[in-house]
Structure formats: structure tokens, C-alpha cells
């Protein structure tokens, strides 16, 4: 029997999903996309955050170029493949559960598109980012043209694809690929710490961060202000939100502390 494409496990209310194809640098074929889609379509209800990790030295080498070559897809066939990636990655971004990607080594092509669909990226010092599609005669197809410019801007993405520029871990954090940079091998521990913190938020606040914030970013300012006010009104109205404010006023909730 062949190894599973994805390994899944749980640590309390944290779900851990691991790409398990280190022999081919976790390159994603159609079955891998289907497995990602299936997991994120039916996340157990007690899971409050998900960590997306990968076996081996590299997070993900993007599209499985061997399958792509062997299948000799027509334009329409590859368009459907891309739409399958869009559906799967959309379930990561809009599934309602915060997803933290733990990055190491190559985060390239479709691997960067996958990481970009997650809400938080923790990179270790071995991480590097590239979009080699240009040199393979392909265009991004996993939602990268929509998500990556929102992280680093259109100009940087254009440069990466035109010139083959590779960002190392430090520069990647500086330009906005990852929100956290940790020593080699430490990404999972950091992600667990963040997941535990995120799980203490009011669920409605996390929901707003995943669903309202990215939509507001796409709206004209006056629509954005309206959506923001609407979301703020609904969030603060929850009994849990009232209780949290009361707890602070009674000196029972943590103050904001300098880091």
C-alpha cells in the first residue's frame, strides 16, 4: 500500500495536516489537491485551529510537473485543474477555521499559492520563496495572482515571475510572505503557541478576521467602513463579548503587555 498523501492528527483542539510526499518535495498532483479539498471540507467540529505542515526539507515544490507532463493536458483540461486548486484553497481560506502554515525549504510555485491561502505563515530559517512558473512556461494557477499581490504587491510578484528572483527567509518575512520567522526546525512549536492563543479569541472575532477583513480590503472605502461598522456591531453584541469586556473592567482579564 502506498503512503497517504496527507497525514492528519490532533493535539487537543488543534488539527495538524501534513503533506507527506517528501520524496518529490511535496509537489501537488490531482490526488493531493483532492485530499486537501476533502480534509478542509469536513474538519471535525471540535477543531479550533489547523496547522498545515510538510514532511522533509521542503514545504512544497508546487505543481507536480511529472504528472503535468505525462498527462499532456489541453488548455481546457488544465483550466479545470486550476479551478480544482481554487476550490480546495478557497476551503482553506474561507473554511471558517484559522489555518497556520509552517514553512521550511522550498515554498515555490503552487506551494507558495498554497501557503498564501493560509491565514498565518510561520517560516523557519531554511525557507525560500520563488515563482518558477515563468521559466516552466506556465502561469500561476492556484489562486496566486489573487492572493500573492495582497501579501507582497503586484510589482514584487511581477519581478519574481519575470526574473526568477528567489527570496530567502529573512527577506521573505520583510516583504510580507511570512508573519513570523523562527530558527530552523522551530516553526511547528511556534505555530502551536499561536494556535493556542488564537483559540482563546471569541469565535466571532476570528470569523470576522477571516471573512470580513479580506472582503473589506477589496471594497471601496465607504463600503468598507459600512461593513466594518456592521461587523463590529454584531461582534460586540454576543454575550461572550459583553462578558469579556466586563472581565477586563473587573480586573479579571489580561492587560495588553509590551512584547
Contact residues toward ligand 1HE (CB under 6 A) are 24-25, 27, 58, 61-66, 82, 85, 106, 108-110, 132-133, 136, 138, 141-142
Q: Which H or E element spans position 210?
A: helix 203-218
Active site residue 184: no
Smallest separation, CB 199 to ligand 1HE (Å): 32
Identity of the residue, 134 or 224, whose beta carbon is nearer to ligand 1HE in the bound complex: 134
Smallest separation, CB 12 to ligand 1HE (Å): 33
The residue annotated as part of the active site, out of 10, 113, 170, 240, is 113
**Contact present, 14 and 43 (Cβ < 8 Å):** no
Residue 159 CB neighbours (<10 A)? 14
Smallest separation, CB 152 to ligand 1HE (Å): 17
CA diameter of the chain: 66
Smallest separation, CB 6 to ligand 1HE (Å): 17
At 100, list the grid cell.
497556520
**Closest Cα to residue 162, out of 202, 191, 135, 200?**
135
Q: Residue 43: what are its φ and ψ, rounded to 5°?
A: -75, 130
Q: What is the 3-state secondary structure (H, E, C) of 60-93?
A: ECCECHHHHHHHCCCHHHHHHHHHHHHHHHHHHH
Burial class (CB in 10 A: 0-12, 13-18, 19+), 244: middle
Smallest separation, CB 133 to ligand 1HE (Å): 4
CA 69 to chain centroid, in Å, comes to 27
Identity of the residue, 13 or 135, whose beta carbon is nearer to ligand 1HE in the bound complex: 135
Identity of the residue, 30 or 228, whose beta carbon is nearer to ligand 1HE in the bound complex: 30
Helix (H, G, I), strand (E, B) or coil at 138: coil
The residue annotated as part of the active site, out of 10, 67, 133, 184, is 133
Identity of the residue, 15 or 62, whose beta carbon is nearer to ligand 1HE in the bound complex: 62
Active site residue 113: yes
Give the catalytic positions in this structure. 113, 133
Amino acid at each position: 500500500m502506498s503512503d497517504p498523501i496527507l497525514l492528519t492528527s490532533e493535539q487537543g483542539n488543534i488539527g495538524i495536516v501534513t503533506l507527506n510526499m517528501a520524496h518529490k518535495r511535496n509537489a501537488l498532483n490531482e490526488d493531493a489537491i483532492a485530499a486537501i479539498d476533502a480534509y478542509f471540507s469536513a474538519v471535525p467540529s471540535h477543531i479550533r485551529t489547523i496547522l498545515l505542515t510538510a514532511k522533509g526539507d521542503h514545504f512544497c515544490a508546487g505543481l507536480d510537473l511529472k504528472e503535468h507532463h505525462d498527462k499532456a493536458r489541453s488548455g481546457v483540461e488544465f483550466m479545470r485543474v486550476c479551478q480544482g486548486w481554487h476550490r480546495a484553497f478557497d476551503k482553506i481560506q474561507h473554511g471558517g477555521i484559522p489555518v497556520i502554515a509552517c514553512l521550511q525549504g522550498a515554498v515555490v510555485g503552487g506551494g507558495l499559492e498554497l501557503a498564501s491561502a493560509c491565514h498565518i505563515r510561520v517560516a523557519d530559517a531554511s525557507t525560500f520563496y520563488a515563482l518558477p512558473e515563468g521559466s516552466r512556461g506556465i502561469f500561476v494557477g492556484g489562486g496566486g495572482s489573487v492572493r500573492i499581490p495582497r501579501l507582497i504587491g503586484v510589482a514584487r510578484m511581477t519581478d519574481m515571475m519575470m526574473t526568477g528572483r528567489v527570496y530567502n527567509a529573512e527577506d521573505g518575512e520583510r516583504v510580507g510572505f511570512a508573519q513570523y520567522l523562527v530558527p530552523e526546525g522551530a516553526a511547528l512549536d511556534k505555530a502551536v503557541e499561536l494556535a493556542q492563543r488564537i483559540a482563546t479569541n471569541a469565535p466571532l472575532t476570528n470569523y470576522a478576521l477571516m471573512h470580513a477583513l479580506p472582503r473589506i480590503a477589496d471594497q471601496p472605502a465607504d463600503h468598507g467602513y459600512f461593513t466594518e461598522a456592521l461587523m463590529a456591531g454584531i461582534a460586540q453584541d454576543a454575550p461572550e463579548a459583553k462578558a469579556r469586556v466586563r472581565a477586563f473592567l473587573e480586573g479579571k482579564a489580561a492587560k495588553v503587555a509590551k512584547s
